[in-house]
Amino acid sequence: MKTRKRFLGDFHVHSNLSDGRLPIPEVIDLFGKLGFGVIAITDHIAESHTYIGKAAAYLNQVLTRETFPKYMELLKEEGERAWKQYGMLVIPGFELSKNSISNHRSAHILGLGITEYVEADGDPVDLAAAIHNQGALAVAAHPVNTRKIEKQTYHLWDRREELANTFDAWEVASGPYLFDEVLETSLPKIASSDLHKPSQMTSYKTVLECERHPEAILEAVRKQQISFEFYRAPAPKPAVERPIARPRVASFSLAG
C-alpha cells in the first residue's frame, strides 16, 4: 500500500500521556477519519533536574524513563491499526521540553522517528545530536512568539545563527498562526498544529507528495521537498433531532 499521491501531515501532536486531552487511539481516529497520510505523536519529556520539570512529572504531564517503553509499545500497536484502517502512518516522537521562568531560556525540541528515550537536560546542540544518533529528525518547536497567551520558548531563536545547521527544520507555524519571522529566513521549515485537543485541528499543516513510508517522509522533510497549507477542520455534523417521547399516562378509574 504505497503511493505518491499528495497527502497531509501533522508532526506535532500530543496525547493524554503528557498534556493532551485524548488517548492515543482517539488521536489516531481523529486524524485517520479526516484522511491524513501521516502524523507524529510527540508527547513531552521534561528536564529531570529542574523544579518545573519535577513538577510536570509529579502531575503526570510528561513522559518519564519508566513510562516511555509503554508509550513506544502503544505507538507501535496503534500505528499498525492506523495503517490497516486508514492508510495513515504514525511516526513515533517526543518533545524535549526545557522550561524556565525566562522565555529566553526556554526551548522545546521535537524528535521525529525516535526509538529511544532522551533526557531533556543539557544543551540543545547535545539534545539534537542524541536525536540524530537515532536516525531521527530534530525540529525547533515554536521558536518565536506563538501569538497565543502561553509560555514562550525563545532560546533556540536567540541562537538561530549558531544553530542554523543543528536542526532539520524549524516550525514556521504552530497551530493557526504563521510565523513570518521564520518564513522570511532560509532556515528549513515544517508546519504543524501542536494539537492538544480536537478544537485545535484547524491549523497549518505540512503537505507531502513522497512515498507513504516513514523513511521517505523524514527524507522529504530533510530535503525540504514539502509545502504548507492552512487546513480548516470540517464542522461537526449536527446531532440528529429525535422526536420528544410523550410521557405514558396510566389510566385508572375512581369508580368503585
pLDDT digits (tens, 9 = 90+) for 72-88: 999 999 999 999 999 99
- pLDDT at residue 189, rounded to an integer: 98
DSSP H helices, 19-143, are 24-33, 51-58, 68-86, 124-132
End-to-end CA distance of the chain: 79
- pLDDT at residue 89, rounded to an integer: 98
- pLDDT at residue 246, rounded to an integer: 47
Between helix 24-33 and helix 68-86 the angle, nearest 10°, is 30
Q: With a cut of 50, which residues of the chain have pLDDT below it?
A: 1, 3, 246-256
- pLDDT at residue 240, rounded to an integer: 60
Q: How far apart are CA 169 and CA 188, in angstroms?
A: 5
Cβ atoms 82, 88 nearer than 8 A:
yes
Contacts of 4 (CB under 8 A, 6+ apart): 209, 210, 211, 212
Q: Would you state the cell numbers that stand for residue 113, as one nine-digit string?
A: 522517528
Architecture of the CATH domain 7-231: Alpha-Beta Barrel (3.20)
- pLDDT at residue 247, rounded to an integer: 42
- pLDDT at residue 248, rounded to an integer: 41
Q: What is the dihedral of CA 46, 8, 90, 191, to 10 degrees?
A: -10
- pLDDT at residue 236, rounded to an integer: 75
- pLDDT at residue 205, rounded to an integer: 98
Cβ atoms 98, 150 nearer than 8 A:
no
DSSP H helices, the chain, are 24-33, 51-58, 68-86, 124-132, 155-158, 160-163, 180-183, 214-222
- pLDDT at residue 237, rounded to an integer: 72
Q: How far apart are CA 120 and CA 109, in angstroms?
A: 9
Domain ranges of the chain: 7-231
